[in-house]
Structure 1
């Protein structure tokens, strides 16, 4: 029986690699489902989500659940907005509500924070990273794959970091 991996993606250059994440997850024995933030949709290639369940909005009253329960969660990339909202329990969008519920349920979670130095310099950045880390979320640096120590993304380096990113850095956590 296949394990279900929810792949969340946020609005940053690394979202363009979600198709590679789907392929890598399947190769590792996962059944992926993608939950994109609205901001990520502009980064995702048109054909990347063609053969995978993907959900971005809340279900309607009386509508059955659209995905099987997640065995694990990966947030690649995780922007400043999603990081700080998730850490504070803000659940005002489908992706955030789902992330908050999965963290509350004890689902194994890994996140790849992706923010430039000016946003990473805001006090909420380190506070949120620390809170998620203490809550059991494994943080992976998008440049090096290092776990639990995350550097900001240097301005102008998003495309290079995206090109060099390795999905095994995320999937090997599970």
Structure 2
């Protein structure tokens, strides 16, 4: 029996090229996984979309469906936003929903679905004055924003830490 459904929301950072590793780890922990990408992340993994859909058992989504189309993903029990980029972090904190990924994670706050994320931001962008208050805003809204080395390589991205926190959520 599966533990539930985890939406893996991937933004366009180098770790997105290794998103299969996170999906495998989600499955290893007993959860079903659905992959949602920002539009740029979807372009980055374009060659792997069919394999990732086969791996998850669900279509990889990156755009809103038409109102007449059925929902193709089961409801999420939790969300992992990983990697979280500077752009998505700041839009998310401002409540902007101009992509499917942002729309889903904004709604998840209102639905009180557990959300766990780790920013993947270079030092120059991390020093921007919007970052700290926006992380604070997301935390105040109930999002678990993990601290981490923003310069880490894609291979060292903190997938296991995300899943350890998810297990406690």
Q: What TM-score results when the alignment is normalised by the length of structure 2?
A: 0.88
Q: Tell me the equivalent position of 1:44.
A: 45
- List structure 1 segments (4+ residues) > 3 angstroms apart after TM superposition: none
2:90·2:134 contact (CA, 8 Å) conserved in 1? yes
Distance, in Å, in 2 between the alignment partners of 1:42 and 1:112 is 21
1:12·1:43 contact (CA, 8 Å) conserved in 2? no
Q: Which has the higher helix share?
A: 2
Unpaired runs of at least 5, structure 1? 144-151
Query: For the aligned residues, what is the CA RMSD?
Result: 1.6
Unpaired runs of at least 5, structure 2? none
2:39·2:99 contact (CA, 8 Å) conserved in 1? no
- The C-alpha deviation readout for 1:136-158, integer Å capped at 9, x for no partner, is 21122344xxxxxxxx43xxxx5
Distance, in Å, in 2 between the alignment partners of 1:120 and 1:165 is 17
Distance, in Å, in 1 between the alignment partners of 2:132 and 2:158 is 24
Q: What TM-score results when the alignment is normalised by the length of structure 1?
A: 0.85
Deviation at 1:45, TM superposition (A): 7.1
Distance, in Å, in 2 between the alignment partners of 1:104 and 1:71 is 13
Residues 45 and 140 of structure 1: CA distance in aligned 2, closer, same or farther (over 3 Å) = farther
